[in-house]
Chains A and B, each alone.
Chain A
Amino acid sequence: MHAPDGFLTAGTAVATGAISVGTVSVALKQAKEQMSEKIVPLAGVTAAFIFAAQMFNFPVAAGTTGHLLGGALAAILLGPHIGALVVTIVVVVQALAFADGGLTALGYNVLNMAVIPAYGGFAVYSGFRKLLPKSKGGVIAATGLAAGISVVLAAAAFSIQWLFGASAPVPFDTVFGAMVGIHILIGIGEGLISALTVGAVLASRPDLVFGARDLDPAQLQESGKVPLRAFIIGGLAVTLLVATVVSQFAVDNPDGLEFVAEDTGFISSAQEHSLGGSIFADYATSGINNETLSLAIAGIAGVLITLAVGYGLFRAIRPRERVPV
């Protein structure tokens, strides 16, 4: 997600830059109010934690690993304002000290990696908290859902920026489908690890979880561990559901899904041929007559195959780096 210089047009860079600067100055003002004199050491050291959290390798499947992005997690632990501020500083320092992401791309990188995951993630979190029981389990479940969705929101935001500031003739719905598709899977890992992390903090220092401030000690006792397996199965179910929706979205834009299936942006067009003869060719699954259903199945399968191929490619290219999930 650390996009380089020139990835979106100069106008988009300036516009997103203005939005980011505006939002971060609001975040700063609110954060100062929340932490008062302690803001510098507390935000500073917790920013180091978020930076380090992005180095946490967690297993994905069959020994492949991913790492945390941390925007929603920061917002739930520290509050949306400090969360947004802290992740912004992480992103900016990554660009300046590690040349990760372009300097002129900071506008949209900060927006997509800090502002949207923190504020968007916290909004989603607050929403789920209203629906879920007021307990420790409710906080953990809401964290997982919000963290996962925050990653998808960021991907959707990037697609919208592409709509306005594309630097290449790839249509919006292609980018949207590919970005959202890939980030749904990334979101599962993000959601799971964020939820478990918040759970671990609740177990030792519940007073440090901003998002759980409304709970009294009795409510904090309720429901300890998240059933991990259930969570993963649930996450996959949500993924497939969204993939279905995305595929319906693509029905109106026939060549959209074709690109999702063919190419997530990293994959060779040679795949076009390999998929061309497959049972999913033309999106209608052979043997299934219901058009919507078969499209949905083709969509799900397309996303999954693409992700699998994308993974393989990623691992082939960067054998010593983590796959971003």
Chain B
Amino acid sequence: MGAGHAHTLYVHEHSPVHRLPPETKVLSAFLFVAAVAVTPREAIWAFGAYAGIEAALVGFSRVPARFVLSRLIAVAPFILFALFLPFIGEGKDVELLGISLSSEGTWAMWNILAKATLGATASILLAATTEVPEIVKGFGRLRVPPVITAIASFMIRYLEVVAEELGRMRTAMTARGYDPRWLSQARPIASSAGTLFVRSYERGERVYDAMLSRGYTGVMPVIDSRTASAQDWAVALMFPLLAAATATIAFVTL
């Protein structure tokens, strides 16, 4: 669900969060979300603290809060699922306004709501303050195998190109009056998918020729050797450290 968009979440701004090297942001986002994920659900105050950290980051990054909230829609189906847990959870042991609820289900609802929303907000913040190719470079500097980051960066480079080809095929079909309503009318769509695959593969081969022409030997050259400074790391890791401290206190006090 929800995979149907080619537009990234990047919000062009010149904030201190935008300026942080991508590898520091990627690692911080992962650590932050991990701290949130392991926090016991009973420590309600801790989730308030996480939300506070994220709200502060939204402020620092100058990403409009409304933008972040509107993007949270991606987790909506799961939130909806969570909302029904008090009613469908096993062991109806609480009575509220005449409806019997499962307390275990209610806790589960809270757990999913809190963690899904906080996690998605962290992802949205990362994507809103870091351009996608930069995120990929960040992964490379975090020692993800270069072949993987190179494939990812080529995918991102050609995503819009391929999506535009798809759009043109769609327009051509619509222009000729194709308006399918039933699965049995899907053949033209599948043939355009087949055509798109062949075109993509052939493009890959031409790109390979272009790479060979400029001296490619099978290893992606190192172009950007700049790395994050200790200060960048300190600033970026401050947030997951705060989260880790919160999670630790939550564990100890429960």
Contact = CB atoms under 8 A, between A and B. Distances in A.
**Is A in direct contact with B (CB under 8 Å) within the complex?**
yes
Interface of A: 1-7, 10, 13, 25, 28, 32, 36-49, 51-63, 67-68, 77, 85-86, 89-90, 92-100, 102-105, 167-171, 188-189, 192-193, 195-201, 203-205, 208, 228-229, 232, 259, 262-263, 265-269, 314, 317-318, 321-322, 324
B246 to A, nearest CB: 15
What is the predominant secondary structure among interface residues of chain A facing chain B? helix
26 contacts: A2-B74, A4-B78, A4-B116, A6-B116, A10-B34, A43-B204, A45-B158, A46-B201, A49-B197, A55-B5, A59-B182, A59-B183, A59-B185, A61-B181, A86-B155, A92-B152, A96-B126, A96-B132, A99-B71, A99-B120, A99-B124, A99-B127, A167-B112, A196-B193, A269-B87, A317-B77
B52 interface: no
Given A59-B181, A85-B151, A232-B184, A98 B127 contact: yes
A228 B123 contact: no
Contacts of A105: 119
A36 B109 CA distance: 48
B183 A266 contact: no
Please name the 5 residue pairs, one residue from A and one from B, whose CB atoms are nearest each other, closest first: A44-B154, A200-B194, A6-B115, A5-B119, A196-B190
B207 A45 contact: yes
Given A100-B3, A318-B76, A204 B190 contact: no
Given A63-B181, A93-B132, A99-B9, A40 B150 contact: yes
B201 A205 contact: yes
Interface string B105-149: 100110110111011101110110000100110000000010110
Given A10-B34, A54-B3, A85-B148, 12 more contacts: A28-B145, A41-B204, A44-B157, A45-B204, A51-B155, A52-B196, A53-B197, A89-B151, A167-B111, A169-B89, A170-B88, A317-B80
B207 A41 contact: yes
A196 B132 contact: no
Given A37-B216, A40-B147, A97-B132, A263 B88 contact: yes
A193 B186 contact: yes
A2 B116 CA distance: 11
Contacts of B163: 52, 55
